[in-house]
């Protein structure tokens, strides 16, 4: 009810929603790119734009943090949350960039499966971020955390199967090196999503 006197508090929620929106954009574009199976200079630059916009929001969050006396939760948690959200987008950019460096082309069924799961996990992360505004909605947060954890397990299994087939079928070691990294980085995106919801859980613990 003191909201009118503390307008700056609310900006954090707006900014986090904005940033998780960019994570959603990155996940959708990642799926589009790996489905098409071709990374050119243009697609890399578009992914870079999304990453840059997320960076800008991060800087705005830190900047406002410096200028705001009262914050809705711990300053350190605000730092962690914006960093982890940024890490999701960074990792997606890294994968796309590495695919270009490795001159990988052609749609890979397993990578597309990863992209689908990543898009789902980021959507659940977004739901958790949005529920932070009303910390009372703990069920939304808990459900999102359970789902992100579940998808991380799904990703583990997908990576293991992908690696198993890769080492079974691919005889060119250079190709093995490339795809091993792509699959492991894809699973890492799901690990970072889990880290984000852990930060949110930890914020929630302190508010409880």
Report the alpha-carbon angle 42-43-48, nearest 5: 95
C-beta of 9 vs 119, nearer to a copy of itself: 9
Residue count (the chain): 208
CA 200 to CA 73: how far, in whole Å?
Answer: 11
Check binding of 188 to a copy of itself (CB under 8 A): no
Check binding of 107 to a copy of itself (CB under 8 A): no
Which of residues 8, 28, 46, 198 is near a copy of itself by CB under 8 A?
Answer: 198
Check binding of 205 to a copy of itself (CB under 8 A): yes
- How is residue 71 written in tokens? 């914050």
Number of helical (H) and strand (E) elements in the chain, helices listed first: 6, 0
Stretch that binds a copy of itself, among 1-9, 12-20, 123-131, 157-165 (CB under 8 A): 157-165
Place of tokens 């959200």: 85
C-beta of 17 vs 181, nearer to a copy of itself: 181
Sign of CA dihedral 130, 135, 140, 146: positive
CA 22 to CA 16: how far, in whole Å?
Answer: 10
Quick check: 206 and 78 in contact, CB under 8 A? no
Each residue 46-85 as x (binds a copy of itself by CB under 8 A) or -, in order, gives ----------------x--xx--------xx--x---x--
Check binding of 112 to a copy of itself (CB under 8 A): no
Check binding of 174 to a copy of itself (CB under 8 A): yes
Quick check: 100 and 15 in contact, CB under 8 A? no
What are the respective helix, strand and coil percentages of the chain, to the nearest 5?
A: 85, 0, 15
C-beta of 35 vs 63, nearer to a copy of itself: 63
Check binding of 136 to a copy of itself (CB under 8 A): no
Which of residues 21, 108, 178, 189 is near a copy of itself by CB under 8 A?
Answer: 178
- CB count within 10 Å of CB 206 equals 9
C-beta of 130 vs 178, nearer to a copy of itself: 178
Which of residues 10, 32, 56, 101 is near a copy of itself by CB under 8 A?
Answer: 101
- How is residue 113 written in tokens? 């499966």
Residues that bind a copy of itself (CB under 8 A): 62, 65-66, 75-76, 79, 83, 97-98, 101-103, 160, 163-164, 167, 173-174, 176-178, 180, 198, 201-202, 204-206, 208
């Amino acid at each position: 009810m003191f909201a009118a006197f503390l307008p700056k508090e609310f900006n954090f929620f707006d900014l986090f929603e904005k940033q998780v929106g960019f994570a959603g954009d990155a996940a959708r574009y990642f799926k589009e790119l790996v489905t098409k199976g071709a990374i050119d200079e243009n697609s890399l630059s578009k992914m870079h734009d999304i990453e840059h916009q997320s960076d800008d929001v991060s800087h705005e969050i830190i900047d406002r943090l410096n200028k705001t006396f009262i914050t809705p939760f711990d300053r350190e948690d605000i730092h962690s949350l914006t960093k982890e959200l940024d890490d999701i987008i960074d990792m997606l950019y890294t994968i796309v960039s590495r695919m270009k460096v490795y001159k990988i082309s052609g749609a890979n069924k397993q990578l597309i499966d990863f992209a689908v799961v990543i898009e789902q996990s980021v959507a659940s992360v977004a739901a958790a971020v949005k529920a932070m505004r009303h910390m009372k909605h703990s069920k939304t947060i808990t459900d999102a955390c359970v789902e992100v954890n579940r998808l991380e397990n799904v990703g583990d299994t997908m990576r293991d199967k992908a690696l198993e087939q890769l080492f079974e079928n691919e005889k060119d070691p250079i190709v093995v090196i490339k795809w091993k990294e792509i699959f492991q980085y894809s699973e890492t995106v799901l690990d970072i999503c889990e880290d984000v919801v852990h930060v949110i859980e930890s914020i929630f613990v302190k508010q409880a």
